[in-house]
Structure 1
Amino acid sequence: MPGTDRRDHDRERTASRPNSANGIAENNHVDETTALLGSDTRDHSPSPDGDSTDDDDEGKPLPKVQILLLCYARIIEPLAFFSIFPYVNQMIQSNGGIADTDVGFYSGLIESLFSLTQAIVMIFWGRAADRFGRKPVLVFSLFGVTFATGLFGMAKTIPQMALFRCLAGVFAGTIITIRTMIAEHSTPKTQAQAFSWFAFSGNLGIFLGPLLGGSLADPARQYPGVFGAVRFFQNYPYALSSLVVALVGATAAISSACFVTETLEKDPDATDGDEEETTSDGPVYRGDLSTWQLLKSPGVGMVIYTYGHIMVLAFAYTAVIPVFWFTPASLGGYGFTPLQISLMMGLSGAAQAAWLLLVFPPLQRKIGTNGVIRLCATAYPFFFLCFPLGNVLLRIGTEASVKAFWIFVPVVLVVGCGVSMSFTAIQLAVNDSAPSPKVLGTLNALALTGVSGLRAFCPALFTALFAIGARTQVVGGYTIWILMLLFAAGFSVVARYLPEPQKSRKRRNV
């Protein structure tokens, strides 16, 4: 274990190269994230180890071109994931001759296999990004997703569909590396803005994926004047959709290979192994950590659990809300038409984008990352409560109550979608909990492993619970909302125990 002599040597080495990318500037890039607490007062006094803070690092502008390139690459994963949704049921039926009642089982199985595959390989990609660099993993994963997505549309059997979907899940390194690289490109002052654009690009991929998939599926039948005579599209009716998505993925892979810069900075003087020294601020890690050591690091376990709790709320809501909107008011839903559902989903997407891009960055600077999470935790139960209240207005059935409903619901969606800020805030909290910059990729992999596992079964679970509640009419068909209210209330309790950044964040190596 290094002692006083080692620390004295480190101070001399740092002082001799104050502008080194791996020296004090890199140290302060992490150390000064205590500003995320929301206080306008920052401590610029010398650190306990004798190192002075570097204001230049905190004032570093956001590299907008790099963030733009990474956000473009970010679009690919949701684009590939959601593009098959409009046609996957029809594809399963035509490829396997499956009965209508069994199609849902196979489509759910294929999507679950994708998420489970991601969960299995996440740690591998995180470790690879921490060891070999962010850029190689990003580029390799993008090419892999591109190849697998292109193959999916040409599958002719259900086992082939499952195989190609699992192959796409294997290349899960894009999500980990992009999150990590955006964190390493940003400073305490700019990371809220950077991750707002990161979240927006993900939502854009979710929006464009089904649009591309639905409009390009079976082109010979949809557009007979253009593709009707093309035998390839007659034999492979879903190839055009997957090939177009693959083409977008290829452009992202090429642009990342040519223009994205590596963000993992390796210190030639850093030691190998899991060395650690204790200061008055806690342990300072000087090497790689094992996965178990990382999980035991102060604050990490709590942050990862909170991440999972937030994602369960998100998966439950996104799975239940389309079915809830479609279900007749007499059974506890809203009885919307497909057009009305599309309009409401569009309104929700626009509202989320506004909250993330316009409100989240200044709010995070004012009340801190944990402050935003706790605010969203307080709002979640009220947001969920509004949906059964809307059904009550419809069940009353008077002209006044129906008018009130059509005013009430859009307002609830616009205001309530502010809870989506918790998705971005928890990502910042994950980054802040990293005990060392060398494990930032692995830490993101741990968080995303849990999320992928939850995504494999949460949608099916919550839609099944909704169906049971609607069929039995227990508590007027509101059973699912009572369960989600309880889970949201649990989130407000969990959020109180989130570690503060200055307690959980450790300094970079100096």
Structure 2
Amino acid sequence: MDLITKLLPATEQTPLLPPATGGDAAIPGFTPPTSRPSPSNEAPSTPAAEEGPFPTKQILLLCLARLLEPIAFFSIFPYINKMAQENGNLPNTDVGFYSGLIESLFSLTQMFVMIFWGRASDRVGRKPVLVASIVGVSLATMLFGTAKTIAEMVIYRCAAGVFAGNVVTIRTMISEQCGQRSKKQAKAFGWFSIANNLGISIGPLLGGALAEPVRQYPVLFKGWKWLEEYPYVLSSLVIGGLGLICAAVVGWSVEETLDRKGEDRQVEKMSVWELMKSPGVGIVLVVNGWIMLLAYSYTAILPVFWFTEVDLGGFGFSPVQISWLMGLTGLSQAVWMLAIFPPLQARIGTNGVMRVCAKAYPLFFALGPVFSMLLRTGNPALVTVFWALAPLAFCFGSGVSMSFTAIQLAVSDVAPSTRTLGTLTSISQAVVSGMRSFSPATFASLFALSVKAQWLLEGYSIWVLMVTMAFGFTVLSLRLPDYEQLKKEREARAEEETQRLLD
């Protein structure tokens, strides 16, 4: 049997993605950096009483809106391989290419429209742009389930990407609700990250549970001709319908945050290039991109790694086992973000959190092949060790998702002013979409090549690459800027400019 056929058998091509876009580990025994980060990395000096109450209702509504994009993106992953094969009459050897292409087009399209959505929200307001984006993604998602050809799948996936600009608008609205460098912002973005992780968990769970309902639930759906003809439409309709409900709630209850009263005031004008050359901005964007590269490459590899047969270097999990482990690690992510991230960020700062995660990445990546080797021995005692330790390791490892929230805070802190925050957010999200556009197909292909080359490190060469990339993040994290110092330098330059004008 061909290797690719063994990796993706025609009767069971529904590997599920892990709930974390990074799914890695915070390893016990790590200690924070010996030098404490600047106060700006911990909490702003502004007293809480002066900042006002935390806008709980508005942040929760924005988090609800945030759920949709990852749900729509990840919901097709459980069935995309089988759907592409059926719609295109593809041989097993071609399934990975087409499914990876369709998965990536969402993010590739999204990357090109990020700046457009940001500018549109500046012109017509945050709220109408947010609602329009949610409605567009919802309708495109509903249409995807009706696709009967590869071309239709591509068109509907691209359409969803065109409208998936809500993340930029939501991040801008959160910053405007809380105030730049406000300590409320750290809490709000923590909730934002939880919403994102929940969406990543819910998406594939819904997609897998509702795909092919006639086959999965014959008692309920036997004889439903339209579900037999369109086996994936129920999943798309449910997810799209939830999105339309979300759009209605957001349109009714979310407050507009664009300050139109300030439109006549002089606005600091910076080109994209000037903004990227501002002190600290470049390295933060590089770290942001590197984190996303690790996250999406790992996300692409992990479900196939779990699914791959043990004698080829995987775990040999069934779709049900993958689904359960995915849900378990998704729950653990929420615990990390709610219980661990806030006090840890307050203690060691934004940069400190990222540096701890940066040290954990390479160690946790190395655990994947180690666990596979335990199964590969066939020793009952070692197999028992695997089942006792592996689920705990993956749950504990999901703590590295804290780096995603930390880098969002870093982007906000490094912005030269609140008037450049929207543009900088758009740039950072374009980087994220760019990484997500090519990582799934590229690293899934690299994994397949690694497994095929069993003579090279017994099929584990992909993990050598992953660990090496993780060490790159470890090094880059040491170069993150001191945000408090940047703030003081900017204030000093502003005072000098004011004095020069007065003179």
TM over 0.5: yes
Matched residues, number: 453
Local SS of the residue matching 1:154? coil
The corresponding residue for 2:41 is: 37
Distance of 1:215 and 1:458 partners within structure 2: 26
The corresponding residue for 2:464 is: 482
Indicate if the aligned counterparts of 1:300 and 1:504 stay in contact, CA closer than 8 A. no
The reply to whether residue 101 of structure 1 matches residue 93 of structure 2 is yes
The reply to whether residue 362 of structure 1 matches residue 356 of structure 2 is no
The reply to whether residue 263 of structure 1 matches residue 267 of structure 2 is no
The reply to whether residue 417 of structure 1 matches residue 398 of structure 2 is yes
Local SS of the residue matching 1:497? coil
Distance of 2:336 and 2:156 partners within structure 1: 36
Indicate if the aligned counterparts of 1:327 and 1:336 stay in contact, CA closer than 8 A. yes
Shift of 1:78: 1.2
Shift of 1:162: 1.1
Q: 1:239 to 1:478 in 2, by over 3 A?
A: closer
The corresponding residue for 1:144 is: 136
Which of 227-236 and 331-340 deviates more? 227-236
Which of 116-125 and 465-474 deviates more? 465-474
Distance of 1:154 and 1:208 partners within structure 2: 21
Distance of 1:162 and 1:502 partners within structure 2: 46
Aligned-partner residue type, residue 359 of structure 1: I
Q: TM-score, normalised by structure 1?
A: 0.82
Structure with larger RCO (C-alpha < 8 A, sep 6+): 2
Q: 1:416 to 1:132 in 2, by over 3 A?
A: same
Distance of 1:355 and 1:453 partners within structure 2: 27
The corresponding residue for 1:503 is: 485
> Rg bigger for which structure?
1
Q: 1:222 to 1:490 in 2, by over 3 A?
A: closer
Q: 1:151 to 1:399 in 2, by over 3 A?
A: closer
The reply to whether residue 245 of structure 1 matches residue 249 of structure 2 is no
What residue ranges of structure 1 are gaps of 5+ in the alignment?
1-32, 44-52, 273-285
Local SS of the residue matching 2:136? helix
Shift of 1:338: 3.5
1:450 pairs, out of 407, 411, 431, with 431
CA-to-aligned-CA distance 1:451-499 (integer Å, 9 cap, x gap): 1111111122222222222222312322111111111111111001111
Indicate if the aligned counterparts of 2:306 and 2:317 stay in contact, CA closer than 8 A. yes
What residue ranges of structure 2 are gaps of 5+ in the alignment?
1-36, 499-503
Q: 1:103 to 1:192 in 2, by over 3 A?
A: same
Shift of 1:425: 0.6
The reply to whether residue 191 of structure 1 matches residue 173 of structure 2 is no
The corresponding residue for 1:118 is: 110
Distance of 1:361 and 1:193 partners within structure 2: 7
CA-to-aligned-CA distance 1:334-387 (integer Å, 9 cap, x gap): 333444333332332122121111100111111111110011111111111222
Shift of 1:292: 1.8
Q: TM-score, normalised by structure 2?
A: 0.83
Indicate if the aligned counterparts of 2:75 and 2:208 stay in contact, CA closer than 8 A. yes
Q: 1:113 to 1:478 in 2, by over 3 A?
A: same
Distance of 2:209 and 2:69 partners within structure 1: 19
Q: Percent identity over the alignment?
A: 54
The corresponding residue for 2:416 is: 435
Local SS of the residue matching 2:316? coil
CA-to-aligned-CA distance 1:162-198 (integer Å, 9 cap, x gap): 1111111001221111122122223532223222221
Aligned-partner residue type, residue 145 of structure 1: V
The corresponding residue for 1:309 is: 290
2:281 pairs, out of 285, 296, 300, with 300
Local SS of the residue matching 2:183? coil
Distance of 1:92 and 1:339 partners within structure 2: 21
Which runs of structure 2 are paired with 1:351-430 in the superposition (5 Å)?
351-430=332-411
Which of 156-165 and 331-340 deviates more? 331-340
